[in-house]
């Protein structure tokens, strides 16, 4: 059984072990694979594991031994799942492995915006506080979460976990969700899209990227928001019209934003979010804690083992 891992580095830059996978078959593990290298590297593969390397219909037609594709992530849009199903190729993903880590990043961005920790650390390091006549110093508005309204788009594993933390902070929680009101925990109020944008002090995105949700945050929806509101995106970059959000930030029509994802990754240096006013940007690391990557590795190996034993799990096609 030949197993090929096409882009191993993001999951395991050296602090995890591939031994459990290597016990399941002959393994070829590549840190990174360019599109033009896939066919040569995977030509004898029965099993492919990939994160961002696309496996298209033409590739599947050429990879005649291929029987299984394991996506090393939750999203599986890099795979032509229809073509895979037609050829009897099983496709699996890794659901819910990073929920605690992503929730942590959501609130890291929220607290960075509300408490302005980076700004005030800079003020202290440059002597501003030392020269201040009072024991305390601030030159921005400071923002308490208690009693504020958090709007959540999507109440899957992550969205629901974010809601629980928000409630612990004493926030009001509203959500755009397909779930019925009677199926929601106490404290979460379902609302329509317009109400979500109008009432949210903080809006955080946790929905899948689809044609309907592409540019969910755009010039029109931003115009509905309070000028004191902020946007958090740890979901998918294209959920946000970045030019529209950057303009709203720079013009003071939105107070702040925190994003861990951008529409193109790595981004062009000219991406407007990188220089936007009151915008914190992290380089797609919400998922990447050691603990989350260890869970991902364990589930990925379990998926392969299940396939080999005829007990397929986490199948998406």
> Is 40 known to be catalytic?
no
Side by side, the strands of the sheet bearing 188-190 are: 188-190, 172-176, 149-153, 202-205, 230-233, 256-259, 279-281
3-state secondary structure of 92: strand
Give the DSSP H or E segment for 281: strand 279-281
Q: Supply angle C-alpha 11, 17, 22, rounded to 5.
A: 105
DSSP letters spanning 124-180: HHTTTTTT-SSS----S-----TT-EEEEE--SHHHHHHHHHHHHTT-EEEEE-SS-
> Is 144 known to be catalytic?
no
State the catalytic residue, choosing from 67, 253, 277, 284. 284
**Residue written as token pair 């492919």:** 48
> Is 236 known to be catalytic?
yes
- Cα distances from 269 to residues 68, 148, 214, 242, 254, in angstroms, run 37, 34, 22, 13, 23
Q: How far is CA 288 from the centre of its chain?
A: 10
State the catalytic residue, choosing from 236, 242, 293, 295. 236
Active site residues: 236, 265, 284
């Amino acid at each position: 059984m030949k197993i090929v891992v096409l882009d191993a580095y993001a999951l395991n830059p050296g602090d995890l072990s591939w031994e459990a996978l290597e016990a399941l078959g002959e393994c070829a593990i590549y840190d990174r694979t360019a599109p033009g290298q896939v066919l040569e590297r995977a030509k004898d593969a029965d099993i492919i594991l990939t994160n961002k390397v696309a496996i298209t219909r033409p590739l599947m037609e050429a990879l005649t031994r291929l029987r299984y594709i394991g996506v090393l992530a939750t999203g599986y849009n890099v795979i032509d799942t229809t073509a895979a199903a037609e050829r009897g190729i099983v496709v699996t993903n890794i659901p819910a492995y990073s929920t605690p880590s992503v929730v942590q990043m959501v609130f890291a961005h929220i607290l960075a915006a509300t408490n302005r920790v980076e700004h005030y650390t800079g003020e202290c390091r440059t002597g501003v506080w030392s020269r201040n006549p009072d024991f305390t110093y601030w030159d921005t508005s400071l923002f308490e979460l208690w009693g504020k309204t958090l709007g959540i788009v999507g109440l899957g594993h992550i969205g629901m976990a974010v809601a629980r933390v928000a409630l612990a902070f004493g926030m009001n929680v509203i959500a755009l969700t397909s779930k019925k009101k009677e199926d929601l925990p106490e404290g979460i109020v379902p609302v329509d899209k317009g109400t979500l944008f109008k009432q949210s002090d903080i809006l955080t995105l946790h929905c899948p990227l689809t044609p309907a949700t592409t540019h969910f945050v755009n010039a029109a929806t931003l115009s509905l928001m309070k000028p004191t509101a902020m946007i958090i995106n740890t979901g998918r970059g294209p959920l946000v019209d970045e030019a529209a959000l950057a303009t709203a930030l720079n013009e003071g029509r939105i107070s702040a934003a925190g994003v861990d994802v951008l529409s193109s990754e790595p981004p062009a240096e000219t991406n407007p979010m990188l220089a936007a006013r009151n915008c914190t940007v992290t380089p797609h690391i919400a998922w990447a804690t050691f603990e989350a990557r260890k869970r991902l590795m364990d589930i990925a190996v379990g998926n392969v083992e299940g396939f080999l034993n005829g007990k397929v799990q986490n199948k998406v096609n």
